């Protein structure tokens, strides 16, 4: 099953050096989710060949403009482009008022249903569960209420081991029961254990999105052992005082977080406009956590 994330925007407050503001597309079994929606996200979707109307879920971490100011434009374009399917938006409670106000003053009545779910920035909770994906929000420590998101694949059923099953002439209609762990009994009464006739499914993969936050261990419990961690890394460590003042994280601190939570891979982003060259960010992070990559726009990372 496809489980991958594509970077649309990797800068912080100001778009510069060809880098846009925060936005990502998560593809889980060909169901698309948009994570944050900075200015210019529509253009980035087009640039990297994503059809906006294929997006089913949108997750907004907080109400600083570089994380959501592209949203109303995207919602409006979906309307103009004839969207009919429901759109699910998860974000701070105040975001609903912002969307409604914009639509009211533009006298726009959407052709599709927008279903809004407010997130709670004070606790962790499951906010979505469908056939492919489970999403859990968790509190971060930023200057305004902010949440991170943990995306987890749903556990798949085992696969039929055809090399074993087919010689036994087990009816195809029984395969679904074997996958559910129900043993097969043949005409002579012989029992064939389901776990001997199936191949265990792969372990579910996970992806954590840690938006703007000061360096703290308060959210580590929610992202323990994650397969891939995206973490903001706005500054280099020599700017740690500035990071603390603005409730942000350095590249070194992001790497320490990845190491402490047992992440398998780290992606760093949300770069300050003071950095044209991002190599020092990567080098600083890799000095603590070697399996680090930069959130380069247009790059797709398979979650393994």
Known catalytic membership, residue 66: yes
7-39 b/e with 16+ CB inside 10 Å = b? bbbbbbbebbeebbbbbbbbbbeebbbbbbbbb
Angstrom distance (rounded) from CA 126 to CA 133: 11
Q: Give one DSSP letter per residue of 50-93, joined into a string.
A: --GGGEEEEE---SSGGGTTTHHHHHHHHHHTT--S-EEEEE-H
Place of tokens 């759109």: 87
Cα–Cα dist 71/36, whole Å: 8
Cα–Cα distance, 40 to 48 (Å, whole number): 13
| Residue 225 CB coordination number (10 Å) | 9
Catalytic residue among 66, 86, 130, 227: 66
Nearest-angstrom CA–CA distance, 215 and 259:
13
List active site positions. 66
């Amino acid at each position: 099953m496809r489980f991958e994330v594509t970077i649309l925007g990797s800068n912080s407050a100001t778009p510069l050096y060809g880098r846009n503001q925060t936005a990502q597309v998560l593809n889980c079994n060909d169901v698309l989710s948009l994570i944050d929606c900075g200015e210019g996200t529509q253009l980035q979707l087009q640039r990297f060949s994503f059809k906006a109307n294929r997006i089913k879920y949108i997750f907004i971490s907080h109400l600083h403009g570089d994380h959501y100011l592209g949203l109303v434009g995207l919602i409006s374009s979906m309307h103009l482009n004839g969207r009919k399917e429901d759109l699910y938006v998860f974000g701070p409670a105040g975001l609903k008022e912002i969307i409604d106000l914009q639509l009211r003053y533009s006298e726009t009545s959407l052709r599709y249903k927008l279903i809004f779910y407010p997130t709670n920035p004070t606790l962790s909770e499951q906010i979505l569960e469908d056939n492919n994906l489970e999403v859990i929000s968790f509190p971060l420590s930023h200057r305004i209420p902010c949440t991170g998101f943990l995306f987890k694949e749903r556990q798949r059923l085992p696969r039929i081991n055809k090399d074993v099953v087919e010689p036994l002439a087990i009816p195809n209609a029984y395969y679904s029961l074997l996958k559910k762990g129900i043993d097969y009994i043949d005409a002579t009464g012989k029992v064939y254990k389901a776990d001997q006739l199936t191949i265990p499914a792969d372990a579910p993969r996970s992806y954590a999105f840690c938006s703007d936050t000061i360096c703290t261990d308060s959210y580590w419990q929610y992202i323990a052992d994650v397969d891939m961690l995206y973490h903001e890394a706005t500054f280099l460590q020599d700017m740690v005082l500035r990071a603390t003042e603005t409730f942000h994280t350095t590249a070194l601190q992001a790497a320490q977080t990845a190491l402490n939570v047992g992440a398998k891979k780290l992606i760093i982003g949300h770069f300050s406009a003071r950095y044209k060259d991002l190599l020092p960010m990567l080098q600083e992070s890799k000095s603590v956590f070697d399996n680090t990559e930069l959130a380069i726009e247009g790059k797709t990372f398979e979650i393994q």
